[in-house]
Structure 1
């Protein structure tokens, strides 16, 4: 789920900003999800407010190109969908990212089970075909490959049910970890139970590349779930949505865009 602050850019036509090679911090799980652009400026600028946090170790921006200057974290490219603006230049963008950042993993499509809200609305067969064409070849480079991310909807062709169909159709594909998204109220047990079900269903390591509180207290919720996420051996990485200025949503940057929100402070330190 992306919000109105996330403005799509033509990734294949973007120019990767030159940067010195970056090295990952430690082996922690916590990541930063930031919009490639936010109200016309590079979303990477907001990562600087986490520069003193030892908790965060990786980052992504729903694409394979970073505009502006992000802090020194491992970068995970993502192929947003099978649309031409995403696939054109994909392999070149990944190669450029590998020159400028530590890259060891790649993420597949963003919420192909959903229409709107950042979802890419891809039929399972189309997602399988595009994954085989654009994602699977990167496994030959030694990169670890993630499944498409799916919503936490219980509908027949969404969420876990969609990903089950994808995994069956992509038999023989290298899928090293499965990717979950989760948005709901601030009930920590519901979050934990859903992720346990996700793991039990697929029997693979889990990444939670988007999660957020839609009602309730996000700060309290994070204080409850962050230690749990860190303690589960089958949860490899996670990223709260998102590193951008907050308005009526508990994002990690304050409304002025000049520092961490209270939720961001919890995320940076707990």
Structure 2
């Protein structure tokens, strides 16, 4: 769908913030940072599920030799950078804070930031979305079927995900990669024509599968997380041959595909029953085929106009059940309902709002008010043990108050000592034993980036993984854990080791 660009010229004069020199350029007076703090996500802000950038500024009391990142009271990793990419699909409020280990031997701490995570997003072109406020609607992200974000101020703080709709927009790939976008969506409904037999626009990019295969190298090898082409027909259906052909091709490096977007429009099949069929036969079935994270970038119930109240109730029940099911599935990263207009006599029962006014329908209120992040259960005491007290007035922890030290020490970094292919499509994982740990977590994937993975826990330092695929290379990493209160405190992951299953 084409996006109508709205260009807004805004001249802002702030007397104390800017000065103008004779060449017409601007010099900004920037207030120096006076506090070691997390700059993103914002406190009490909302971000989209998946990969989340946690960012912070430099400490005030000295130079940091490394930073320790804590999320939900648990240590997750260390870094020398001032940014860390954290992954979660847990729709909840999370907490984060940073411990800086300074070169002078002291430590400094940020305040705890609380942020919500949502899978919900908006699929909108200009005509659909110009009158909406995605922040007030509790949306974590949006896309427009295009390569550039909206200029509307209401969308400014919401993550935009660009799309290469068809082969005609492939020239935008380099610009998107250099612009720092975290995700990229590929071809939109390449298995469908642009127009139906009656000349009606149906939205497919109509890309021949062999063309898509031969062009895939253009998308790969960039810094973003890349979605597969989004088929109109589910790969798990008999009719989903386009996508299966694409994924079965030896010319497509599957490790370049980080997630699979899906579309689904059930014709006059609503209610909880329709939603559960969608969850099992579309979402679960596709995941079981490829074991990669799932996005649902378009879904709705088609075939019912807005005027029939009974049909609208059927769609409302479908949406409630679908949201609940999608949020529960950890492998589902994001989703966006397709909102037909209320004036659509064939499909208006699936309208979330009226395009001309932006006014929400009852279905729209369900989408806005359901599936939002909720408070996590009470976090472990570690949340408050690594930061100064609220009346301290400083984040410089040069004092040696023992209450600021962890009660339980995190385990040492684990090491895989051996991987062995055992007859019967099994791999035996041997881990170098670490003293005083309660167990080990084993993560493995057929993708070197671990986009789609399996995870097992073992109280012993050996574990045999079963039911693997022959002639497939698997990647393994492990970490140890101890018990801190009622939670697991993990050490760092081992280096990744790989093995090909041959027997």
The TM-score normalised by the length of structure 1 is 0.78
Structure 1: how far apart are the matches of 2:291 and 2:246? 15
For structure 2, the 5+ residue unaligned runs are 11-39, 48-115, 195-201, 305-310, 371-503
Query: What is the SS of the residue equivalent to 1:229?
Result: helix
Q: 1:105 aligns with which of 183, 189, 195?
A: 183
1:227 aligns with 2:327: no
Counterpart residue number, 1:59: 142
Counterpart residue number, 2:247: 167
Counterpart residue number, 1:144: 225
Structure 2: how far apart are the matches of 1:227 and 1:157? 27
Query: Contact 2:234/2:286 (CA < 8 Å) preserved in 1?
Result: no
Query: What is the SS of the residue equivalent to 1:207?
Result: strand
Query: What is the SS of the residue equivalent to 2:220?
Result: helix
Counterpart residue number, 2:90: none
Q: 1:127 aligns with which of 212, 231, 254?
A: 212
CA drift of 1:73 comes to 1.3
> Matched residue pairs, number?
239
Query: Contact 1:251/1:261 (CA < 8 Å) preserved in 2?
Result: yes
Query: Contact 2:145/2:162 (CA < 8 Å) preserved in 1?
Result: yes
Query: Contact 1:64/1:94 (CA < 8 Å) preserved in 2?
Result: no
Q: Tell which structure's C-alpha radius of gyration is larger.
A: 2
Q: 1:201 aligns with which of 289, 293, 309?
A: 289
The structure richer in strand per residue is 2
Structure 1: how far apart are the matches of 2:238 and 2:161? 27
The structure richer in helix per residue is 1
1:247 aligns with 2:343: yes
From the superposition, tell whether residues 209 and 255 of structure 1 become closer, same or farther in structure 2 (CA, over 3 Å).
closer
1:81 aligns with 2:166: yes
Query: Contact 1:17/1:67 (CA < 8 Å) preserved in 2?
Result: no
Q: 2:279 aligns with which of 186, 192, 201?
A: 192
From the superposition, tell whether residues 17 and 136 of structure 1 become closer, same or farther in structure 2 (CA, over 3 Å).
farther
Alignment root-mean-square deviation, CA = 2.8
From the superposition, tell whether residues 94 and 252 of structure 1 become closer, same or farther in structure 2 (CA, over 3 Å).
farther
Structure 2: how far apart are the matches of 1:149 and 1:222? 21
Q: In the TM superposition, what whole-angstrom CA distance separates every residue of 1:111-170 from its partner, at most 9, and x where no partner exists?
A: 10111311111111101222221x2142xx2x11110001236898853x2212111224
Query: Contact 1:152/1:183 (CA < 8 Å) preserved in 2?
Result: no
Structure 1: how far apart are the matches of 2:9 and 2:294? 32
Query: Contact 1:152/1:182 (CA < 8 Å) preserved in 2?
Result: yes
From the superposition, tell whether residues 167 and 153 of structure 1 become closer, same or farther in structure 2 (CA, over 3 Å).
closer
From the superposition, tell whether residues 154 and 137 of structure 1 become closer, same or farther in structure 2 (CA, over 3 Å).
closer
The TM-score normalised by the length of structure 2 is 0.44
CA drift of 1:255 comes to 5.3
Q: 1:269 aligns with which of 369, 373, 385?
A: 369
From the superposition, tell whether residues 197 and 92 of structure 1 become closer, same or farther in structure 2 (CA, over 3 Å).
same
Query: Contact 1:31/1:59 (CA < 8 Å) preserved in 2?
Result: yes
The answer to which structure, 1 or 2, has the higher relative contact order (CA under 8 A, 6+ apart) is: 1
Query: What is the SS of the residue equivalent to 2:287?
Result: helix
Query: Contact 2:265/2:301 (CA < 8 Å) preserved in 1?
Result: yes
From the superposition, tell whether residues 200 and 66 of structure 1 become closer, same or farther in structure 2 (CA, over 3 Å).
same
Query: Contact 1:44/1:67 (CA < 8 Å) preserved in 2?
Result: no
From the superposition, tell whether residues 52 and 189 of structure 1 become closer, same or farther in structure 2 (CA, over 3 Å).
same
Q: 1:182 aligns with which of 258, 264, 278?
A: 264
Counterpart residue number, 2:193: 115
